[in-house]
């Protein structure tokens, strides 16, 4: 009995020492263990786990334990604790807040130390990862917003696709149908995300000095376009009522698939969704049209990204970066982005035939070759600004305020955020 | 013999036993005391300190005095979330108590199916809150929801429950009524405790239904009403889950529903803490909520003497 207890005690001490050394029971003793929680679930998580497994098989120095953990609050709590994780993923809009608070580490030294070649990346995708001129994350997948059209509805009404915003207004008018009771039965264009839509009108939300430019003429024009061509002609309440009846987004009842909406501005994952839920849908996609007087905006596409980062409290930054390089390698990136139906961030993958298995993916892959890829650079007040933009959008789409009035007020609030 | 022992030791056995019992009691309570100190007292005191600091979880707190509290004065969302929460308290709590009491009164009959009715009323409270809220989102759907279909058949207006800022809070109140089962069961138990002889005497005196309720039932169950009122107010001031699920748009987004109409105070604390990572400001907001809760509870307790009747009063 005494011997057993002693063995138990010694075993516990040994296990504690092993944990404190960064390796865990079950892992080979000479390997450094990395914790890798990720937000993805389901098939995406399976694809990521396969990449983790391939890394572990190739390694005799590092062992990665990946676990699906779609809980961002838990992630934040772990990042602020002493025993957090070593590497994880998130969306690009978190970079500013997390980098400015010191939650995630700058990667410049690691990139330089490993002589990591970044020349293959689409330049805008890497730029999006910066805060204060330093890289705080690396992009695994990007998304661009394109105008998708239900071509069957266009053909039924004999409508040509719009090449300018002026033509887009006419197309919306033709493809929005109202019945005898004044109820909308088909909407020409679903409400866009105004953060990205504004760029198609030459707008921007930050100036070159990263100061707010909420009341930029292009931003006002984008919102006025929606007010004048959709909200005022068809009525706020009627549009809301119609929108409330839209089916589940990721299902055959998606309003774009069922023909309730003729045009949507969406990202590349729609190509996979259509493959899964509406295989017979006749559709195409292209850049959102721009005002006829602004031909220089042609090919404008708003870019957002999913990224990998290393928290500041990791004990193994070099090892985490080694694993990150594996995650971002061309083969892993190809496998993973195909599983997600997201866009790769490497230019060498844009023509990869593997993406041809997803019909229509080429629209978005081609968009990454555009000279006019745009994004919102990171600031420490990015999340608060997004919240304010969302509130302002609500005021405009409920016709409580004119776009100009609402955006002028937003500018004042944003300046206060930037000064804080 | 006893006296001689106590004189020798200088202590009386009863004192020793009492002290021993006290020590034993403290020993048994120690796990809770330690848990309270570590998991409740320390975070409460720490949050008070953080409320006077600029703190983001990842770097050391920097003392900024009352700046966080001063910032609330110019914070539109502070007022908006406070007003939304007070709306839910002022309208939701009385509405919920009234509905629960009416339900309990209607269930307080002698019937063999009584256990079935009670289970039926209580059932919604055991449905997971997330599942129930998503279910209600569809019931309240403006286009295809059951509620609007019903209203349409009656020729009544069909509100945009989840999309119109004017209707989002009433929608949450409606959901709240669905989950009054717990309150109803407590009321039902209280109603059973009212002595029947009072009703018999009142009936002999010719008292009507309303008179019997107002003069017998209501005073008799008033302590239970006070308890439910205080619990209801405190719960309402911390209103979070349903509104958060109604408003949620994307992962970790600081959404407050249409025009921030369901941005509750608890949600605003959460947004500041876990989206903006402004833990200092979130702590200050939490302390304001604590003070408001104390003031409201104290006011209710002070006024209770006017309408709460205890047995023997």
Nearest chain A alpha carbon to B279 = A101
User: Which of left, alpha, beta for A152 (phi over 0: left; psi -120 to 50: alpha)?
Assistant: alpha
Please list every residue in chain A whose beta carbon sits closer than 8 Å to the beta carbon of residue B160. Answer: 237, 240-241, 244
Give which of B50, B54, B56 to mutate to test A binding, by max A Cβ within 10 Å.
B56
Q: Residue B246: which H helix or E strand, with range?
A: helix B241-247
Where residue A20 falls among pLDDT bands split at 50, 70, 90? Answer: very low
**Closest CA–CA distance from residue B79 to any residue of chain A (Å):** 15
Nearest chain A alpha carbon to B162 = A244
Of B58, B142, B271, the CB nearest to A101: B58
Q: List Cβ neighbours of A302 (8 Å cut-off, separation of 6 or more).
A: A144, A145, A195, A196, A199, A374, A375
What distance, in Å, lies between the first and last C-alpha atoms of chain B? 50
Q: What is the DSSP letter of A182?
A: S
Q: Quick check: A1 pLDDT over 60?
A: no
Q: Can you tell me which residue has the tokens 């509130």?
A: A391
**Closest CA–CA distance from residue A267 to any residue of chain B (Å):** 15
- Contact between A394 and B271 using a beta-carbon 8 Å cutoff: no
- Please give the structure tokens belonging to residue B175: 């959901």
Among candidate residues A84, A124, A74, the one with its CA nearest the CA of residue A104? A84
**Sign of the C-alpha dihedral computed for residues A47, A53, A58 and A59 taken in this order:** positive
Rg (CA), chain A: 24
- Contact between A237 and B276 using a beta-carbon 8 Å cutoff: no
- Contact between A76 and B254 using a beta-carbon 8 Å cutoff: no
CA quadruple B110, B112, B113, B115: dihedral, nearest 10 = 80
Rounded distance between C-alpha atoms, residue B131 and residue B161, angstroms: 18
Rounded distance between C-alpha atoms, residue B78 and residue B278, angstroms: 14
Rounded distance between C-alpha atoms, residue A131 and residue A115, angstroms: 21
Contact by Cβ (8 Å): A229, A197: no
Please list every residue in chain A whose beta carbon sits closer than 8 Å to the beta carbon of residue B260. Answer: 391, 394
Please list every residue in chain B whose beta carbon sits closer than 8 Å to the beta carbon of residue A312. Answer: 58
Among candidate residues A82, A71, A79, A85, the one with its CA nearest the CA of residue A24? A85
Residue A285, φ and ψ in degrees, nearest 5: -145, 155
Could you tell me which residues of chain A have a Cβ less than 8 Å from any Cβ in chain B? 39, 70, 72-73, 76, 79-80, 91, 94, 97-98, 101-103, 237, 240-245, 312, 383-384, 386-387, 390-391, 394-395, 398, 400
- Contact between A101 and B251 using a beta-carbon 8 Å cutoff: no
> What is the predicted ipTM?
0.77
Task: Reduce the DSSP state of residue B237 to 3 states and report it.
Answer: helix
Nearest chain A alpha carbon to B145 = A245
Rounded distance between C-alpha atoms, residue A322 and residue A111, angstroms: 10
Contact by Cβ (8 Å): B277, A97: yes
Of B141, B259, B277, the CB nearest to A394: B259
Quick one: average pLDDT of A109-127?
94
Chain mean pLDDT for chain A: 91
- Contact between A391 and B256 using a beta-carbon 8 Å cutoff: yes
Please list every residue in chain B whose beta carbon sits closer than 8 Å to the beta carbon of residue A73. Answer: 252, 274
Task: Note the pLDDT of residue B4.
Answer: 46
Pairing of strands A301-309, A88-91: antiparallel
**Sign of the C-alpha dihedral computed for residues A252, A147, A89 and B242 taken in this order:** negative
- Contact between B254 and A39 using a beta-carbon 8 Å cutoff: no
Nearest chain A alpha carbon to B158 = A241
- Contact between A72 and B251 using a beta-carbon 8 Å cutoff: yes
User: Which of left, alpha, beta for A60 (phi over 0: left; psi -120 to 50: alpha)?
Assistant: alpha
Could you tell me which residues of chain B have a Cβ less than 8 Å from any Cβ in chain A? 56-59, 141-144, 158, 160, 162-165, 251-256, 258-260, 271, 274-277
Rounded distance between C-alpha atoms, residue A402 and residue A377, angstroms: 27
Q: Quick check: A156 pLDDT over 80?
A: yes
Q: Quick check: A168 pLDDT over 60?
A: yes
CA quadruple B217, B220, B224, B225: dihedral, nearest 10 = 50
C-alpha count within 13 angstroms, C-beta hemisphere, residue B38: 6
Task: Note the pLDDT of residue A343.
Answer: 96
Pairing of strands A177-178, A184-189: antiparallel
Q: List Cβ neighbours of A165 (8 Å cut-off, separation of 6 or more).
A: A200, A201, A225, A289, A290, A291, A292
Give the pLDDT confidence of A221-263 residue by residue, as tens digits: 999 999 999 999 999 989 988 988 888 788 899 999 999 999 9
Task: Note the pLDDT of residue A2.
Answer: 42
Rounded distance between C-alpha atoms, residue A375 and residue A125, angstroms: 9
A27 versus A327: the higher-pLDDT residue is A327
Task: Reduce the DSSP state of residue A303 to 3 states and report it.
Answer: strand
Contact by Cβ (8 Å): A43, A55: no
- Contact between A391 and B162 using a beta-carbon 8 Å cutoff: no
Contact by Cβ (8 Å): A225, A192: no
**Closest CA–CA distance from residue A84 to any residue of chain B (Å):** 12
- Please give the structure tokens belonging to residue B250: 């994307």
- Contact between A244 and B276 using a beta-carbon 8 Å cutoff: no
- Contact between A76 and B57 using a beta-carbon 8 Å cutoff: yes
Q: Which residues pair with A184 in a beta bridge?
A: A178
Q: Can you tell me which residue has the tokens 């772990």?
A: A78
Please list every residue in chain B whose beta carbon sits closer than 8 Å to the beta carbon of residue A181. Answer: none
Between CA A42 and CA A51, with CA A46 as vertex, the angle to 5 degrees is 150
Q: Which residues pair with A305 in a beta bridge?
A: A142
Among candidate residues A149, A387, A140, the one with its CA nearest the CA of residue A270? A149
Please list every residue in chain A whose beta carbon sits closer than 8 Å to the beta carbon of residue B53. Answer: none
Number of helices and strands (H, E) in chain B? Answer: 17, 2
Give the pLDDT confidence of A41-98 residue by residue, as tens digits: 888 899 999 999 999 999 989 999 999 988 888 899 899 888 899 999 999 999 999 9
pLDDT tens, per residue, chain B with 313 residues: 444 444 455 566 777 778 888 899 999 999 999 999 999 999 999 999 999 999 998 889 999 999 999 999 999 999 999 999 999 999 999 999 999 999 999 988 878 888 888 888 999 999 999 899 989 988 998 877 899 889 989 988 888 888 889 999 999 999 999 989 999 999 999 999 999 999 999 989 998 989 999 999 999 999 999 999 999 999 999 999 999 998 887 666 778 888 899 999 999 999 999 989 999 999 999 999 999 999 999 999 999 988 998 876 6
Largest CA distance in chain A: 90
Nearest chain B alpha carbon to A77 = B57
Pairing of strands A261-266, A184-189: parallel
Give which of B141, B144, B152, B163 to mutate to test A binding, by max A Cβ within 10 Å.
B163
Q: What is the DSSP string of B248-311?
A: --STT----SGGGTT--HHHHHHIIIIIS--HHHHHHHHHHHHHHHHHHHHHHHHHHHHH---T
Task: Note the pLDDT of residue B117.
Answer: 86
User: Which ranges of A147-261 would DSSP assign to H, the alpha helix?
Assistant: 151-157, 165-175, 194-197, 217-226, 232-234, 236-244, 255-258
Sheet order of strands, A177-178 included: A177-178, A184-189, A261-266, A146-150, A283-286
Instruction: Tally the residues of chain B.
Output: 313
Rounded distance between C-alpha atoms, residue A159 and residue A153, angstroms: 8
Rounded distance between C-alpha atoms, residue A305 and residue A118, angstroms: 16
């Amino acid at each position: 009995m005494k011997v057993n207890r002693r063995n138990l005690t010694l075993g516990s001490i040994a296990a504690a020492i092993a944990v404190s050394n960064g390796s865990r029971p079950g892992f080979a003793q000479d390997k450094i263990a990395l914790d890798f929680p990720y937000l993805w679930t389901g098939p995406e998580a399976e694809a990521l786990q396969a990449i983790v497994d391939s890394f572990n098989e190739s390694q005799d120095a590092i062992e990665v334990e990946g676990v699906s953990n779609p809980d961002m609050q838990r992630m934040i709590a772990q990042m602020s604790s002493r025993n957090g994780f070593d590497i994880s993923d998130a969306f690009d809009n978190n970079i500013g807040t997390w980098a400015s608070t010191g939650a995630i580490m700058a990667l410049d030294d690691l990139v330089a130390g490993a002589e990591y070649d970044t020349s293959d990346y689409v330049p805008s995708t890497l730029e999006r990862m910066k805060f204060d001129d330093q890289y705080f994350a690396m992009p695994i997948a990007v998304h661009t917003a394109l105008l998708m059209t239900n071509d069957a509805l266009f053909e039924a009404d004999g409508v040509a696709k719009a090449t300018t915003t002026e033509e887009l207004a006419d197309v919306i008018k033709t493809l929005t149908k109202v019945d005898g009771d004044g109820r909308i039965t088909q909407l020409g264009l679903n409400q866009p995300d105004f953060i990205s839509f504004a760029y198609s009108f030459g707008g921007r939300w930050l100036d070159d000095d990263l100061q707010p430019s909420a009341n930029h003429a292009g931003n006002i024009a984008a919102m006025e376009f929606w007010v004048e061509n959709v909200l005022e002609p068809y009525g706020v309440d009627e549009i809301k009522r119609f929108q409330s009846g839209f089916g589940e987004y990721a299902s055959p009842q998606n309003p774009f698939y069922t023909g309730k909406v003729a045009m949507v501005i969406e990202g590349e994952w729609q190509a996979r969704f259509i493959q899964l839920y509406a295989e017979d849908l006749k559709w195409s996609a292209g850049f959102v049209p721009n005002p006829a007087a602004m031909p220089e905006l042609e090919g404008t596409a708003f870019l957002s990204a999913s990224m990998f980062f290393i928290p500041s409290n990791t004990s193994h930054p070099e090892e985490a970066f080694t694993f990150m390089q594996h995650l971002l390698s061309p083969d892993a990136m190809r496998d993973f982005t195909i599983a997600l139906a997201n866009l790769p961030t490497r230019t060498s993958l844009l023509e990869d035939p593997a993406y041809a298995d997803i019909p229509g993916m080429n629209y978005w892959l081609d968009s990454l070759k555009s000279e006019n890829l745009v994004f919102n650079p990171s600031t420490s007040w990015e999340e608060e600004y997004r919240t304010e933009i969302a509130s302002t959008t609500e005021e405009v789409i409920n016709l409580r305020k004119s776009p100009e009035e609402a955006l002028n007020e937003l500018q004042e609030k944003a300046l206060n955020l930037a000064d804080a | 013999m006893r006296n001689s022992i106590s004189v020798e030791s200088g202590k009386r056995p009863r004192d020793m036993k009492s002290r021993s019992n006290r020590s034993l009691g403290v020993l048994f309570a120690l796990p809770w005391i330690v848990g309270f100190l570590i998991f409740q007292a320390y975070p409460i005191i720490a949050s008070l300190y953080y409320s006077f600091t600029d703190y983001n979880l990842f770097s050391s707190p920097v003392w900024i005095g009352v700046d966080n509290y001063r910032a609330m004065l110019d914070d539109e969302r502070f007022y908006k979330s406070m007003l939304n929460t007070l709306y839910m308290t002022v309208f939701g709590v009385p509405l919920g108590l009234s509905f629960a009491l009416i339900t309990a009164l209607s269930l307080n009959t002698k019937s063999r199916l009584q256990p079935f009715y009670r289970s039926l009323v209580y059932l919604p409270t055991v449905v997971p809150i997330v599942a129930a809220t998503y279910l209600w989102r569809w019931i309240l759907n403006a286009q295809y929801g059951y509620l609007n279909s019903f209203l349409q058949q009656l020729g009544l207006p069909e509100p945009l429950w989840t999309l119109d800022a004017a209707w989002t809070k009433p929608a949450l109140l409606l959901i709240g009524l669905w989950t009054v089962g717990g309150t109803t069961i407590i009321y039902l138990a209280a109603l059973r405790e009212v002595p029947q002889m009072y009703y018999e005497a009142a009936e002999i005196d010719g008292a009507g239904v309303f008179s019997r309720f107002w003069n017998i039932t209501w005073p008799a169950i008033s302590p239970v009403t006070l308890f439910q009122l205080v619990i209801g107010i405190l719960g309402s001031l911390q209103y979070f889950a349903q509104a958060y699920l109604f408003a949620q748009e994307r992962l970790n987004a600081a959404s407050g529903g249409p025009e921030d109409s369901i941005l509750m105070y608890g949600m605003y604390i959460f947004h500041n803490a876990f989206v903006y990572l402004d833990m200092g400001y979130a702590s200050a907001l939490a302390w304001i909520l604590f003070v408001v809760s104390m003031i409201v509870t104290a006011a209710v307790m002070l006024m209770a003497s006017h309408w709460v009747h205890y047995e023997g009063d």
